[in-house]
Amino acid sequence: MGRKAYVETFDDDPGGWLGWIAGWVGPRKLDIVGGAARAQPPWGVDLNHVRPGAGYLHLPYVLTTRPHRWPELSGPHRFVEGGFSTDLTDARFTVRIRGEIDMKGAEMLLLVQTDIPRERANVRPNFVLKAQPIRIERQWAEQTLTLAPDEDQWLCMGTRGPVADCRLYGYAPIEQVLRDVNIDIILVIFGLDVRPAVPVDGDPHLLLAGKDWPVDESRLPAGYIELDTVRIEYP
């Protein structure tokens, strides 16, 4: 028998979901507008996965899959309180979403993140479902992603390496990651053109974007996104 589906409709509150301003700011409350969770800049830039990792991210929608420290921002955490499974193997992940946004060549992707204990130190693989991007159009559209444990569909984000706080991000087989997504599920914007707003000597990406140098905001996505429904159907 299949497990009960998780459904969030954002009718009255964020239902456990968070917005996130990356780069030393952290979580913020999502605005609920007409029964949908609205996200809009500033999003900051998540730089944990800059080369040799896969690149920069925005984090407009974050759902932790375990209790967190910000209930005043997220409202009642219906995923955790409902006891929904973190085994997302072959789950169907559906969103009803719209927006008016210039993506500047980037795309919205589903990201899954988990902690995997190892003998010397845990690793925290992050994978995006690169083969199934989520379209953001002006009209409401329902889109369903299938979370198959197929390495060809996923991209491991890796780590920037030199920053101490980022050394735990690494690789594990996607089959192992999907079996227990025990940190969070995030709708990210990936493929950002992050460049300094002022001249920087040497390779700016060896430094910390937004801290060591100001980011050229004109190159980043601009507009808003509204998320009306999220549904996870287990096999």
pLDDT at 111: 98
Handedness of CA 85, 87, 93, 95 (dihedral sign): positive
pLDDT at 2: 56
pLDDT at 166: 55
Report whether 74 contacts 17 (CB < 8 A).
yes
- Cα–Cα dist 12/20, whole Å: 20
Provide the terminal-to-terminal Cα distance of the chain, rounded to the nearest Å.
Answer: 9
pLDDT in tens, the chain (235 residues): 458 999 999 999 999 999 999 988 999 999 999 999 999 999 999 999 998 899 999 999 999 999 999 999 999 999 999 999 999 999 999 999 999 999 999 999 999 999 998 766 788 999 999 999 999 999 999 999 999 999 999 999 998 865 545 567 889 999 999 999 999 999 999 999 999 999 999 999 999 999 999 999 999 999 999 999 999 999 9
Report whether 90 contacts 26 (CB < 8 A).
no
Amino acid at site 13: D
Domain range annotation of the chain: 13-193
pLDDT at 138: 97
Question: In terms of Cα–Cα distance, which of 98, 53, 106, 100 is closest to 220?
Answer: 106
Give the pair of three-digit tokens for residue 177: 């990651």
pLDDT at 164: 46
The pTM assigned to this predicted structure is: 0.95
**CA–CA distances in Å: residue 44 to residues 210, 215, 216:** 8, 9, 11
List, as own/partner pairs, every contact residues 115-123 make where C-beta atoms lie below 8 angstroms and the sequence separation is at least 24, other chains included.
Answer: 115/182, 115/183, 116/172, 116/176, 116/177, 121/168, 122/168, 123/168, 123/169, 123/170, 123/171, 123/172
pLDDT at 122: 81
